[in-house]
A and B are shown apart, each in its own frame.
Chain A
Amino acid sequence: MAEVHVIGQIMGATGFSESSLLCKWGVHTGPGFVSPWAAWKLLSGVREGQTQVDTPQIGDMAYWSHPIDLHFATKGLQGWPRLHLQVWSQDSFGRCQLAGYGFCHVPSSPGTHQLDCPTWRPLGSWREQLARAFVGGGPQLLHGDAIYSGADRYRLHTTSGGTVHLELSLLLRHFDRYGVEC
Chain B
Amino acid sequence: MAAAAPSVFLLMVNGQVESAQFPEYDDLYCKYCFVYGQDWAPTAGLEEGISQITSKSQDARRALVWNFPIDVTFKSTNPYGWPQIVLSVYGPDVFGNDVVRGYGAVHVPLSPGRHKKTIPMFVPESTSKLQKFTSWFMGRRPEYTDPKVVAQGEGREGKGSPPWAGWAW
Which A residues are closer than 8 A to B by beta carbons?
A: 5, 7-9, 11-12, 22, 43-46, 49-55, 58, 61, 63, 65-69, 71, 94, 111-112, 169, 171
Q: Mark B20-58, 1 if CB is under 8 A from A, else 0.
A: 000100000000000001000000000000000000000
Q: Is the CB of B120 within 8 A of A50?
A: no
In Å, the complex CA distance between A71 and B78 comes to 10
In Å, the complex CA distance between A50 and B158 comes to 9
Query: Could you tell me the distance in whole angstroms from the C-beta of B56 to the nearest C-beta in chain A?
Result: 16
The 3 closest A-B pairs by CB, nearest first: A63-B120, A52-B159, A169-B110
In Å, the complex CA distance between A86 and B120 comes to 21
Q: Is the CB of A66 within 8 A of B156?
A: yes
Which B residues are closer than 8 A to A by beta carbons?
A: 23, 37, 78-82, 84, 104-107, 109-111, 119-120, 122, 125, 127, 150-154, 156-157, 159-160, 162
Known A-B contacts: A22-B159, A51-B157, A63-B120. Give 20 more (CB < 8 A).
A7-B79, A7-B107, A22-B157, A43-B80, A44-B37, A52-B162, A53-B159, A61-B120, A63-B122, A65-B105, A66-B153, A67-B107, A67-B152, A69-B81, A69-B153, A71-B79, A94-B160, A111-B111, A169-B109, A169-B111
Query: Could you tell me the distance in whole angstroms from the C-beta of A25 to the nearest C-beta in chain B?
Result: 9
18 contacting pairs across A/B (C-beta < 8 A): A5-B82, A9-B106, A9-B107, A44-B37, A44-B81, A45-B80, A51-B157, A52-B156, A52-B157, A58-B23, A65-B105, A65-B120, A67-B84, A69-B37, A71-B79, A112-B109, A169-B111, A171-B110
